[in-house]
Structures are given as structure tokens and as C-alpha cells.
């Protein structure tokens, strides 16, 4: 590929994409980045020598002049610098970016079914601020930081070239950079085609289950690939069972239960669009007679089911993130405690509860404590069957805490003995 940088809608040939700007940290700061983290915050910086434009790649020095790496800078963001390279001789060039992309793809080939998977996961692939999901022959990109947005064309061209080496021809790319966090970077929210338009309904197969993924209007990039292995784990518990799947979104856990031979499945979601997509997916798999869906508020429905005396062999709780900030965690704990307490009460003695949190700020210890409190309130005893995190195509980079977000438990729920 050519060595190009895209900036201000212009393309120019450039070997080294960095600027001569040097950022120096305050004495005693930079602990996270020194431990392997990827972020430097605004209050950690002592000085910036030289002029820069937001998104430029700069050199970072410790207070004593020790070289720490290259990263891109944005004065609009509290995360002032996101690291790209740690080695002085490892300049940020298009060839460097292609190597990062190739490493990301080689890793996926080693750890997961790549027919549909997350091929780039931001900081955990040392390409901070960008996510790329592959749904069969379609790529969906989400760019959340200005510096990586400027490098996005280089990343995508490299990714198409690397995939082509394995005989994978990408027929289209759709951008879902419509998250609010872009505003904090001084960027506008955006969604639309990159290149030629194409049919944005993409059929994928995961764990034997067929889904129609709407990459244009579905949540996030269109489908939550991070639960792939957790959905597979539930199949062995659902044969012949009566199953309740809460916050079903487009029906993924419910359909895995039906595919595994559940006797009946009820999937619940507050979004009518999600329910419509889930029903379409049920028909796609010939499961519409077994797997039913209802549009309802889970917090309102669970007490109603309890009042009616309903009981299920398996209850699955896969809520959205109740907190996206540390300040809102207290209220989130109440929400997780409430749905887990209600969910446990609906599980038959000896049945199973699958429960998870996809919020980074709901750390593993706090989530476990919250489940324990819910079990006490429901007068139930829990036996842990399994614990998982996100699928390995969403790798957890140690020292980059933000990359660890999904916690998934399966418990046997027992009456007090």
C-alpha cells in the first residue's frame, strides 16, 4: 500500500506521520502509561514544545527527558494523548499501521471463528479509539478519537489488503461513528457508507444460529459479537427447558436456547425494533413456534411474572450498561441488584440463572457483591457453574482497564437448604 496520510481532506505522501512536537510529563505522573496503559490525561502534562493541530502524532518524554513513545494529541479531550508506539525507532508510518492490522487479524485467526468477529478492538490492538467488526464480507467501523479518525483510511485499506491475502473480498464498509463520546473529542457524530453503497442487511451464522444483522440501524455496529462464546455456553443448559431471556435485543440468547432444543422460550426487550428483528431471526431459523418475543420493560415485567406464579428452568439477564461513568455506579448497582433478585425468584429450584454486566465501571468485585446481595434478598443459594468475560476477539489488555468490561456468570439457583 502507498504511504499516505489523510488530513484536511487532502492526501499526501509521507513516510513518518508524526510531527516534531514534544510533550513532557510532570514529575510523578504517567503511572498508568508506564505500567502499559494507553492514555495520558490533560493533568499529567507539564509542557508541549512546538505547535500542533489536534490529531497530530507527537513524541512523549518523561519529566527527565526519557523517551516514552509516540501518540496522537487532542486538546479538546481530557484524554490528551493516546499512545501508538513505545519504541523510539518504531516511527508511526503506514507500514507500521499495516503491521498493527496484520497482527490483529493473525490473532483472531488463532483464537476464534472469524466468519464474523471483531477484527480491531481499539487499545487492546494498540490502535486506540477505533473498532472494526467483520460481518461475513462487510466491515463496520466505529471511530471515537480524532487522531485515529485521521488514520482511519490507512487502517481500512490495510485491513482490506490483509483480508484479501486470505481470499476474503470485502464488498462494503459502513461507518457507525455516531456515539456521543465523539463530541468530547470535538468531532461530529457520523454514520454512512465508506465507498460504494450496499445492502446493509447482512446474514451471519454464529454457533449454528442464523441472524440478519442491520449494520445501518442496529445498536452499536449492528450485533453484539462479544457474547459469542457465552451464548454457546448456554446451549448445553437449555435442551427441553422453559427459558426466559431478558433484554433480548435481537434475540441472540433466546435463539441459542431454541436452537439447543428448549421446550419454550420467551425473549423480552423494551425496543419494538429489537423485537421485530428478533422475530425475523426466529423465522430465519424456523424457531418461531418455540421462541416467542414480547416488547416490555423488564423491570416492570419480572414482578408481574412473579405475581402470576411463573417459573422458568433458565433465566438469562443480559442488560445494557446501566452506567457509563463512575459517578452513576451507585444507581447502577440498584438496577443490577433489582433485576437479579427478580430473576432469581423466577428460577425453579435447581434451575439456572445467567447474568452479566457489560459496564466497565461495574468492576468484577462490585458485580459479584451485587449478585450476592440479590441472592440474600431473594433467599436463594447460588452455585457457580461458569464465569466468562467477553469473547477473545475482544481481548482484555492488561494495564488497559477500559478493555475489560463484560462479566458473565452462570449459577444454579437453589432454595435455602
Give the model's pLDDT for residue 205.
97
What's the CATH code of the domain at 109? 3.30.750.80
Cβ pair 18, 59 in contact under 8 A: yes
What's the CATH code of the domain at 51? 2.30.130.10
Residues 40 and 170 placed together within one structural domain of the fold: no
Pairing of strands 67-73, 79-85: antiparallel
Alpha carbons 142 and 223: distance in angstroms, whole number: 13
Give the model's pLDDT for residue 5.
45
Is there a domain that residue 118 lies in?
A: yes
Question: DSSP assignment of 70-123, as one string?
Answer: EEEE-TTSSEEEEEEE--TT----HHHHHHHHHHHHHHHHHHS--SEEEEEEGG
Q: Which of 40, 66, 85 is the last residue of a domain?
A: 85
Alpha carbons 267 and 277: distance in angstroms, whole number: 12
Give the model's pLDDT for residue 331.
82
Residues 54 and 100 placed together within one structural domain of the fold: no
Give the model's pLDDT for residue 6.
45
Is there a domain that residue 203 lies in?
A: no
Is there a domain that residue 102 lies in?
A: yes
For residue 354, give the nearest of 413, 298, 410 by alpha carbon. Answer: 410
Residues 75 and 98 placed together within one structural domain of the fold: no
Cβ pair 291, 257 in contact under 8 A: yes
Is there a domain that residue 38 lies in?
A: yes
Residues 256 and 316 placed together within one structural domain of the fold: yes
Residues 235 and 344 placed together within one structural domain of the fold: yes
Residues 152 and 243 placed together within one structural domain of the fold: no
Cβ pair 19, 56 in contact under 8 A: yes
Cβ pair 97, 22 in contact under 8 A: no
Structural domains in the chain (count): 3
What's the CATH code of the domain at 318? 3.40.50.150
Q: Which of 176, 198, 220 is the last residue of a domain?
A: 198
Is there a domain that residue 353 lies in?
A: yes
Residue 124 CB partners (closer than 8 Å, separation 6+): 394, 395, 396, 397, 400, 403
Residues 266 and 389 placed together within one structural domain of the fold: yes
Give 10-residue mean pLDDT values along the chain (417 residues): 41 62 96 93 96 95 96 96 94 94 98 98 96 98 96 96 98 95 93 96 97 92 95 97 96 98 98 94 98 97 96 96 74 92 97 95 93 97 97 94 94 90
Which residues span the domain enclosing 298? 209-415
Residues 410 and 352 placed together within one structural domain of the fold: yes
Helix (H, G, I), strand (E, B) or coil at 16: coil
Residues 103 and 191 placed together within one structural domain of the fold: yes
Residues 297 and 393 placed together within one structural domain of the fold: yes
Is there a domain that residue 141 lies in?
A: yes
For residue 41, give the nearest of 98, 79, 7, 86 by alpha carbon. Answer: 79
Other Cβ atoms less than 10 A from the Cβ of 403: the count is 19
Residues 257 and 135 placed together within one structural domain of the fold: no
Alpha carbons 126 and 70: distance in angstroms, whole number: 12
H or E stretch including 205? strand 201-206
Residue 281's φ and ψ, nearest 5 degrees, are -65, -35
Is there a domain that residue 150 lies in?
A: yes
- Which residue numbers are catalytic? 358
Residues 62 and 102 placed together within one structural domain of the fold: no
Q: Which of 85, 114, 133 is the last residue of a domain?
A: 85
Is there a domain that residue 10 lies in?
A: no
For residue 216, give the nearest of 200, 203, 204, 202 by alpha carbon. Answer: 200
Amino acid at each position: 500500500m502507498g504511504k499516505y496520510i489523510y488530513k484536511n481532506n487532502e492526501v499526501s505522501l509521507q513516510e513518518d506521520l508524526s510531527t516534531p512536537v514534544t510533550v513532557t510529563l510532570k514529575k510523578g505522573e504517567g503511572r498508568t502509561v508506564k505500567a502499559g496503559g494507553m492514555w495520558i490525561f490533560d493533568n499529567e502534562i507539564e509542557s508541549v514544545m512546538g505547535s500542533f493541530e489536534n490529531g497530530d502524532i507527537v513524541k512523549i518524554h518523561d519529566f527527565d527527558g526519557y523517551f516514552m513513545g509516540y501518540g496522537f494529541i487532542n486538546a479538546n479531550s481530557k484524554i490528551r494523548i493516546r499512545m501508538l508506539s513505545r519504541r523510539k525507532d518504531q516511527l508511526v508510518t503506514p507500514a507500521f499501521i499495516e503491521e498493527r492490522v496484520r497482527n490483529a487479524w493473525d490473532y483472531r485467526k488463532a483464537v476464534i471463528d472469524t466468519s464474523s468477529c471483531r477484527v480491531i478492538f481499539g487499545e487492546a490492538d494498540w490502535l486506540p479509539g477505533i473498532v472494526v467488526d467483520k460481518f461475513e464480507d462487510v466491515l463496520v467501523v466505529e471511530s471515537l478519537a480524532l487522531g485515529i479518525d485521521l488514520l482511519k483510511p490507512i487502517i481500512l485499506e490495510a485491513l482490506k489488503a490483509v483480508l484479501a491475502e486470505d481470499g476474503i473480498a470485502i464488498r462494503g464498509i459502513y461507518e457507525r461513528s455516531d456515539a456521543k463520546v465523539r463530541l468530547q473529542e470535538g468531532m461530529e457524530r457520523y454514520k454512512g457508507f465508506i465507498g460504494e453503497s450496499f445492502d446493509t442487511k447482512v446474514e451471519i451464522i454464529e454457533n449454528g444460529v442464523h441472524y440478519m444483522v442491520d449494520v445501518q440501524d442496529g445498536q452499536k455496529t449492528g450485533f453484539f459479537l462479544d457474547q459469542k462464546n457465552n451464548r454457546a455456553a448456554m446451549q448445553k443448559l437449555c435442551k427441553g427447558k422453559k427459558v426466559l431471556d431478558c433484554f433480548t435485543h435481537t434475540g441472540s440468547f433466546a435463539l441459542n436456547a431454541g436452537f439447543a432444543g428448549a421446550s419454550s422460550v420467551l425473549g423480552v426487550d423494551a425496543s419494538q425494533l429489537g423485537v421485530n428483528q428478533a422475530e425475523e431471526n426466529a423465522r430465519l431459523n424456523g424457531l418461531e413456534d418455540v421462541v416467542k418475543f414480547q416488547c416490555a420493560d423488564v423491570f416492570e415485567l419480572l414482578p408481574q411474572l412473579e405475581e402470576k406464579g411463573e417459573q422458568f428452568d433458565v433465566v438469562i439477564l443480559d442488560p445494557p450498561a446501566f452506567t457509563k461513568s463512575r459517578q452513576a455506579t451507585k444507581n447502577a448497582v440498584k438496577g443490577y441488584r433489582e433485576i437479579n433478585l427478580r430473576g432469581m425468584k423466577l428460577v425453579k429450584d435447581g434451575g439456572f440463572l445467567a447474568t452479566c454486566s457489560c459496564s466497565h465501571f461495574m468492576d468484577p468485585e462490585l458485580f459479584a457483591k451485587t449478585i450476592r446481595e440479590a441472592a440474600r434478598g431473594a433467599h436463594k443459594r447460588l452455585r457457580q457453574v461458569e464465569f466468562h468475560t467477553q469473547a477473545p476477539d475482544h481481548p482484555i489488555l492488561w494495564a488497559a482497564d477500559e478493555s475489560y468490561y463484560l462479566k458473565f456468570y452462570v449459577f444454579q439457583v437453589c432454595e435455602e437448604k
